[in-house]
Amino acid sequence: MSSGDLSVRARAFSVSSLIGSTHHSDDESSRNTDATKLQSFAYCPPTNKTDGEPTSIQNAAADLLCRELWLEFHALGTEMIITKAGRRMFPSLKVRLSGLEDDVLYIVYVDMETVDDKRHRYIYQSSKWVPGGPGDVPHQERHFLHPDGPQLGKFWNKQSCVAFDKLKLTNSRKPSQRDQIPLHSMHRYQPTLYIQPIPNDCREALSNCSEWWKTFCWKSSSAASFTFPETQFITVTAYQNQQITRLKIASNPFAKGFRDSNREPR
């Protein structure tokens, strides 16, 4: 028990000394400063390509939440761990929806789209990622359906946060669980949000459903999609950039055990 405490403290100390002197300090309060510096570098407005014409989707909008945190990671080159059992993203995708029509049913989901068809390598000396060989063929299914959907537009509009925190990334070919998205390691991905109305010809068949039953999923061509470039990431099985490791530890509650503040209580 007490020996475990000591070893953790020793590890945390050695990590911070390995990283050496950077512009990051060890406490979380420094992160806002960094974010301010980086905002001009990485932000691009989300693209809204409404490729269908139904009126139920024209005014839809989505705002990325916790954008400052995403920008901090993006400036370093966001890495996401993938494991056989599936690993949550951190940060997780959280959005605020608006402009959906009150009485239309929608499903909301995320797709992980490939950015290029290349494998990537991390160069330790320059702290940079470089394209390597050709990429693996993308998996067929990389969707994660929001578990609350389908719901009426008024439901989605009034949610202050629509979170995809249960989503898991995996490197197993055929994920057994519904919450897992299969990806290739050392590849670059761009999460994309989809808001999709339920087609008219099936909505009437739902008319005798009670409120709790208004749940189904649909694949149609009329959907609004939103891309937030600052959420792009590279998949890894172990972190490459130690500054990424450091920022994850500083900001993910589940990694609190690895924070330096555990060494020095004040």
Partner DNA sequence: CAGTTAACACCTAGGTGCCAAAGT
Partner DNA sequence: ACTTTGGCACCTAGGTGTTAACTG
CA–CA separation, 114 and 135 (whole Å):
10
Closest CA to 191 of 110, 135, 117: 110
State the binding partner of 171 from DNA, its own copies, none, CB within 5 to 8 A by kind.
Answer: DNA
- Render 107-161 in DSSP notation, one character per residue: EEEEEEEES-SEEEEEETTTTEEEEEEEPPPPPS--EEE-TT-SEEHHHHHH-S-
**Subset of 41-70 contacting its own copies (CB under 8 A):** none
Whether omega before 46 lies within 30 degrees of 0, making that bond cis, reads no
Residues in the chain: 266
Is the preceding peptide bond at 134 cis, omega within 30 degrees of 0? no
CB 213 to its own copies: min, Å: 4
Structure token pair of residue 153: 């537009």
Which 176-235 positions form the footprint of its own copies (CB under 8 A)? 178, 199, 201-202, 205-206, 208-219
Region near its own copies per CB under 8 A, out of 45-53, 59-67, 122-130, 141-149: 141-149
Among 27, 28, 117, 141, binds its own copies (CB under 8 A): 141
CB of 161 to DNA, least distance (A): 14
Binding DNA (rule: CB under 7 A), the pick from 70, 90, 155, 194 is 90
Query: Binding of DNA at residue 152 (CB under 7 A)?
Result: no
Contacting DNA (CB under 7 A), which of 207, 213, 238, 266?
238
- Catalog residues that contact its own copies under the rule CB under 8 A: 140-141, 143, 145, 147-148, 150, 178, 199, 201-202, 205-206, 208-219
